[in-house]
Amino acid sequence: MRYSNNPAGQQALRTTVGNWFNRARQVQLHPNWGAWIGMHQAGALLYNCGGIQGPGRHNGWGNDYVTQSLFNWLTANIPNSYAVTNLPHAYPSGQTDTNGAYEYLQDYYNVTRIANQNYAVAANTLPAPGNAYIPAGNYQITLNFHLYVDDRYPNPAYQPPDSSDSDHDGGDLGGHWPTPAEAAGWQ
């Protein structure tokens, strides 16, 4: 869903960032929320999340976008306790070419705020991505909200497959699409 720079969009974004921050303070993880823990190289735990819609749809993770003007409004109006990355990251999507480049990119920014200075993690209780466990100890928890801005755009590094290669396996079909008889023989 796309959110625009109007009072409803501003309130939705303000409420969302506050809700995610409150969940991060207690490290509330739920399968339908689309939140996960990541270990930062500095030793802090990142409470990674995204999306504006409510629980049940991964909170809109990967589905919710804001216009550039709403993003600009947020950066001008966000409290000083939050930080916003000054350059976007590019999230890849779509097909991949033979070199592994994705067809599209989508800009996102990170909205961060320290949520808990001394969160205790018991041994083997808090999984990180890849089913590894965070070592037991006390950690700083930092909200790491992913905010997608505007539409995805073509990746200039993506090389589309040859149009004569209908199954995109790199093979050449001699410059024509298969006839029904040829296609039937491939099944």
Q: Which pTM does this prediction carry?
A: 0.79
Of 53-57, 129-133, 138-142, give the range with the top mean pLDDT: 138-142
Which residue in 141, 123, 118, 143 sits closest to 133, CA to CA?
A: 123
pLDDT tens figures, 108-139: 999 999 999 999 988 888 776 666 788 899 99
pLDDT class for 56, splitting at 50, 70, 90? low
The residue extents of the domains of the chain are 2-156, 161-187
The whole-angstrom separation of Cα 57 and Cα 34 is: 8
Better-predicted residue by pLDDT, 171 or 62: 62
**Model pLDDT for residues 5-46, shown as the tens digit of each residue:** 999 999 999 999 999 999 999 998 877 777 888 888 888 899
Per DSSP bridges, beta strands 102-121 and 83-84 are antiparallel
In 3D space, the residue among 1, 132, 140 whose CA is nearest the CA of residue 58 turns out to be 1
